[in-house]
Amino acid sequence: MFYFALGLILAAFSGCSDSGPETAGATSETTNGIAVVALDGVHKPIPQARVTLYQRPRAASAESPSEVQDVTQFLPSYVTALETATADDSGKVQFETELDQCQNARCYVEGIAGEDSSLMVWTKFNAKDSLADEIELLPSVSLTVRTGAAASDSTVLGSSVMLDATPYWAKNDGNDFVFSHVPAGLYTIVANSQPVGDISLDAGTSVDTLMWFQELTHEYVFEDFDDGDNLNNLAKTYPNYGWYYLPHKGASFESPDSAGGFAGALVDDGARGKYLSLKFTIQDTGYVMLGTRLGLDTGYYDLSALTAVRLKVRGDCMFAVALEHYRQIENNNYNKALWFTKASDEWTELVLRPGEEIVDSKNYQVSWDEISSEIGIFSIFIYNGSFLEIDEIVFEGIQIID
- What's the CATH number where 35 sits? 2.60.40.1120
Residue 71, domain member (yes or no):
yes
Whether 45 and 96 map to the same domain: the answer is yes
**Residue 293 structural domain:** 219-396
Residue 401, domain member (yes or no):
no
Its pTM stands at 0.69
Residue 160: the pLDDT is: 78
Residue 402, domain member (yes or no):
no
Name the stretches of the chain with pLDDT < 50.
1-31, 60-72
Whether 189 and 328 map to the same domain: the answer is no
Whether 304 and 166 map to the same domain: the answer is no
Domain finish residue from 215, 238, 254: 215
Whether 39 and 55 map to the same domain: the answer is yes
Whether 143 and 20 map to the same domain: the answer is yes
- C-alpha 184/C-alpha 205 separation (Å) is 9
Whether 33 and 160 map to the same domain: the answer is yes
- C-alpha 40/C-alpha 121 separation (Å) is 10
Residue 399: the pLDDT is: 76
